[in-house]
Amino acid sequence: MALDRITLSRFRNHADTALDGARGFNLLVGENGAGKTNVLEAISLLAPGRGLRRAALPEMASDQGQGGFAVGASLAQHDGGEPVRLGTYTEAQAPSRRRVRVNGSEASAVSLGEWLAMGWLTPAMDRLFMDSAGARRRFLDRMALAFDPSHARHATRYESALRERNRLLADERPLDPAWLDGIEVQLAEHGAALSQGRIATLGVLSTALEILPEEPFARPLLDYDSGGPTDCADLAAALRDGRKRERSAGRTLTGPHRADLAVTMAGKAMPAANCSTGEQKAMLIAIVLAHAELAAKGRPGVLLLDEVAAHLDPLRRAALFDRLRSSGAQVWLTGTELAPFADIREEAAVWEVACGAVTRM
């Protein structure tokens, strides 16, 4: 299955846009600010989460939430069966509430993960290895979600329980042990599931990356600092035993919200943060490609690549297209000109984007 008939209504600078006849490769070409990345962002909302920009929902509406927005797509089936209709939207009366429909019926955002394994790479991610641990956790969680849609539910419930526990720890009134017990049960249950999902994801990714050559993309080695116990019972005990210390700190100091993804360049045995900008980009591409290939084996895979080809030399660009061609994922790419995509031009669907309008080329 693959996405087709993608529609954007009142989404950022797209008043009424439709993209028909999508292929394995799909190119969006236009000047900076034309609205290419906006199309990718809209597609990213057909998966659980906040989209590739992590923007607030009212910001995505062309009128800043006053009228809401809508994004839809058909998920075509290879056997010729009836397409699955996916859609997400907001309404004027509730601009911060995201709603989802699957085949016309109300559904949860988490359920979108049952239909598509979505991944992306944007210029904002280029400094991932220099960024905060939180940014790397979000990157890892996005990859885990593509393998297991329930990962989003565990993340949401863990964050909710964490906020409640931190609120109690910061309160000057005496702690209620029974109330803390109940919160910590939830925190341990969903925290352990969160950690185990991340570890499982890194396990299959590491296996795939082990067989990659050092060139043309640098081979990364992945490791995970869990931030605390990964077993439910052990995490619950650590939370209970740490109450006094964490009351003094006013926040929870143990759990997967303290975790980090560690990446090392195999050829130099050097932490990614100490590598050159080009080496960091090459490792990031290697991780994203390996993940896309693995994720597309379970559910239809969609990979969104914003301005990735223009920053690669011809050798690496050709290698990128070869990997994408064999990945099994549907690929959407953006660029300011067609020249970098010469190798895939004949097999791709191409649209010119200008001022929020899209024209098939």
Q: How far is CA 233 from the centre of its chain?
A: 30
**Is 134 labelled as part of a ligand binding site?**
no
**Is 32 labelled as part of a ligand binding site?**
yes
**Is 297 labelled as part of a ligand binding site?**
no
Going from the C-alpha of 361 to that of each of 26, 28, 154, the distances in angstroms are 11, 10, 43
Taking the C-alpha atoms of residue 125 and residue 281, their distance in angstroms, rounded to an integer, is 9
Taking the C-alpha atoms of residue 350 and residue 361, their distance in angstroms, rounded to an integer, is 6
Beta-carbon count within 10 A of 167 CB:
12
Under 8 Å between Cβ of 3 and 12 = no
DSSP secondary structure string for all residues of 298-344: TS-EEEEESS-GGGS-HHHHHHHHHHHHHH-SEEEEEESSSGGGGGG
Comparing CA positions, the residue from 309, 336, 358 lying closest to residue 25 is 309
**Is 31 labelled as part of a ligand binding site?**
yes
**Is 342 labelled as part of a ligand binding site?**
no
Taking the C-alpha atoms of residue 33 and residue 169, their distance in angstroms, rounded to an integer, is 46
Is residue 346 packed enough to be buried (19+ CB in 10 Å), middle (13-18) or exposed (0-12)? exposed
Under 8 Å between Cβ of 63 and 11 = no
**Is 242 labelled as part of a ligand binding site?**
no
**Is 33 labelled as part of a ligand binding site?**
yes
Q: How far is CA 141 from the centre of its chain?
A: 7
Taking the C-alpha atoms of residue 114 and residue 291, their distance in angstroms, rounded to an integer, is 17
Give first-to-last CA distance, the chain, whole Å: 24
Question: Three-state SS across 151-207?
Answer: HHHHHHHHHHHHHHHHHHHHCCCCCCHHHHHHHHHHHHHHHHHHHHHHHHHHHHHHH
**Is 36 labelled as part of a ligand binding site?**
yes
According to DSSP, the β-strands at 220-225 and 84-91 are unpaired
Is residue 133 packed enough to be buried (19+ CB in 10 Å), middle (13-18) or exposed (0-12)? middle
Q: Which residues are annotated as a binding site?
A: 30-37
Q: Which residues are annotated as a binding site for ATP?
A: 30-37
